[in-house]
């Protein structure tokens, strides 16, 4: 390895150092640029001098393996890297936006602001998990926001991928991370569960809405291990006006057992962006911690000391998708809606952690003044919510797996596509009616959704009678369309 002077004006592989911007426990960051480009970038170099922590080298190796595989608006764009044989470094995009760390003097934030921040971070985590990476160091100093609003996750030195060797797991027995945000299972050596990131996001949301961290500031191993059996004070104990739905979400994120948290980051974002659909349990009502006797039972439960064997990251995500079914409640749609229910039932039977969102669009006139009541004096919106729940009753889904939504829009297809995008839907079920001259001329809602959806679309038709008089499913060339 060569010796390089890291002073402003020095050049490393064509990158000119301008100034240092951060010196942490494992690495130092510099602003750099290329002579042929005015764009500023960031160069990260590990601390590998005499007496430095060897974990700095291993975590940097992990980051060099992971960053070139990542893409999208929620990660810094990778530019270049240097090897340990000459000089180890990573050059990446410099994010132009604001750091979340700058909001700490404002804590506690208004609830709406904190929820919006958490939803953006959750969206970034969902995108990262889809790329087979768990971050393992979600905290304010590792989060920035682009001018366009997207959250960007920084620092992948503690991250792991289920398609790469986990060097941190292989070479060290003590968990590395930021103590206040570390999930309980991390203390048992578990690094392959994406719900550890949801725990950290729950800590952050608790902190930003109460001004206090749920487990304090302790850095001792004993202090951290207490969270294996001791729950935090409920937010409503600190702030009596704390919204029950928000406490439900936060306390679910902070559950000791990963299986009790949201199955995926996408489902957590769904709750944060649809507060009226959050199913309240005893979590939302708590005003104090669990009794000490409950904590003692957890502490001496031998099962908590055993390493949990988890499925692969891809398998966990695929077992907990958000399935949306678009339901037409107009007269004459009963047979088609029955087929949609049967199809949904078959899909949900294989996905016990999936969430079902039942959607109907209340079509508005382009130039007319729409009435909120029908001919019988019933509120149209409320009536459709009731009908959607009635449609879903035979599926016998638990409250935390079912939501119903009535969208009011002039363009039903556009409304459905907007909902899919905002709610991170993984799979759409939509019915298609028989072809008619008018539908050929204007185009159908199902055709537009199928053509423009960012996820898999299953188009369902009602069965046609066979020549023998028996009902048989009609073949549909669009039956499994992936847009």
The structure's pTM equals: 0.84
Question: Left (φ > 0), alpha (ψ -120 to 50) or beta: where does 330 sit?
Answer: beta
Q: Which residues of 231-248 are buried (b: 16+ CB within 10 A; e: fewer)?
A: bbbbbbebbeebbbbbbb
Contact 350, 317 (CB under 8 A): no
Angle between helices 334-349 and 380-392 (to 10 degrees): 50
pLDDT of res. 49: 67
Output the pLDDT for position 442: 45
The torsion defined by the Cα of 197, 417, 458 and 443, in degrees rounded to 10, comes to -170
Tens-place pLDDT, residues 91-148: 999 999 999 999 999 999 999 999 999 999 999 999 999 999 999 999 999 999 999 9
pLDDT beneath 50: ranges in the chain: 305-309, 437-438, 441-442, 467-483
Strand partners, 90: 44, 81
What pLDDT does 24 receive? Answer: 78
Q: Extract the tokens encoding 467.
A: 């020549």
Q: Do 325 and 340 contact (CB within 8 A), yes or no?
A: yes
**Which residues, listed in sequence order, are joined to residue 360 by a DSSP beta bridge?**
406
Q: Which tens digits make up the pLDDT trace of 260-309?
A: 999 999 999 999 999 999 999 999 999 998 888 887 887 777 565 444 44
Residue 135 contacts residue 124 (beta carbons within 8 Å)? no
Distances (CA, A) of 253 to 122, 149, 194, 198, 360: 12, 24, 12, 6, 30
Domains in the chain with CATH codes = 11-93 (3.30.200.20), 98-316 (1.10.510.10), 321-482 (3.40.50.620)
Token digits of residue 354: 């999936």
Q: Are 249 and 204 in contact (CB under 8 A)?
A: no
């Amino acid at each position: 390895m060569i010796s390089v002077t890291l002073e402003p004006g020095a050049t490393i592989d064509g990158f000119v150092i301008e100034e240092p911007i951060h010196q942490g426990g494992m690495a130092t960051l510099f602003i750099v640029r290329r002579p042929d480009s005015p764009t500023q970038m960031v160069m990260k170099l590990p601390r590998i001098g005499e007496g430095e922590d060897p974990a700095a080298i291993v975590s940097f190796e992990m980051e060099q393996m992971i960053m070139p595989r990542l893409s999208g608006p929620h990660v810094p764009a990778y530019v270049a890297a240097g090897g340990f044989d000459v000089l180890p470094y990573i050059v990446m995009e410099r994010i132009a936006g604001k750091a979340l760390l700058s909001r700490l003097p404002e804590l506690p934030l208004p609830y709406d602001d904190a929820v919006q921040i958490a939803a953006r971070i959750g969206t970034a985590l969902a995108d990262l998990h889809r790329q087979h990476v768990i971050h393992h160091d979600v905290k304010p100093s590792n989060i920035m926001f682009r001018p366009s609003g997207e959250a960007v996750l920084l620092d992948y030195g503690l991250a792991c991928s289920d398609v790469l060797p986990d060097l941190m797991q292989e070479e060290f027995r003590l968990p590395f991370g930021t103590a206040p945000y570390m999930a309980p299972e991390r203390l048992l050596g578990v690094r392959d569960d994406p719900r550890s990131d949801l725990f950290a996001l729950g800590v952050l949301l608790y902190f930003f809405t109460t001004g206090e961290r749920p487990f304090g500031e302790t850095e001792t191993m004993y202090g951290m291990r207490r969270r294996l059996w001791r729950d935090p004070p409920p937010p409503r104990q600190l702030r009596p006006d704390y919204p029950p739905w928000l406490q439900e979400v936060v306390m679910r994120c902070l559950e000791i057992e990963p299986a009790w948290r949201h199955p995926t980051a996408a489902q957590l974002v769904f709750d944060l962006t649809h507060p009226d659909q959050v199913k309240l349990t005893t979590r939302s009502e708590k005003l104090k911690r669990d009794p000490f006797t409950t904590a003692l039972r957890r502490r001496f439960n031998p099962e908590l000391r055993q390493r949990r064997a988890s499925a692969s990251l891809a398998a966990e995500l695929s077992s907990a998708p958000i399935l949306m079914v678009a339901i037409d409640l107009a007269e004459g749609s009963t047979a088609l809606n029955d087929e949609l229910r049967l199809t949904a039932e078959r899909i949900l039977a294989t996905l016990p952690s999936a969430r079902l969102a039942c959607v109907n669009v209340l079509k508005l006139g382009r130039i007319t003044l729409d009435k909120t009541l029908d001919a019988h004096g019933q509120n149209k919106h409320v009536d459709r919510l009731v009908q959607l729940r009635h449609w879903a009753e035979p599926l016998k889904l638990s409250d935390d797996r079912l939501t119903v939504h009535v969208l009011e829009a002039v363009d039903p297809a556009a409304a459905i596509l907007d909902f899919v995008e905002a709610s991170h839907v993984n799979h759409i079920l939509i019915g298609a009616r028989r072809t008619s001259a008018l539908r050929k001329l204007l185009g159908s809602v199902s055709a537009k959704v199928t053509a423009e959806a960012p996820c898999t679309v299953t188009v369902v038709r009602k069965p046609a009678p066979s020549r023998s008089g028996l009902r048989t499913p009609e073949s549909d060339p669009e039956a499994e369309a992936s847009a």
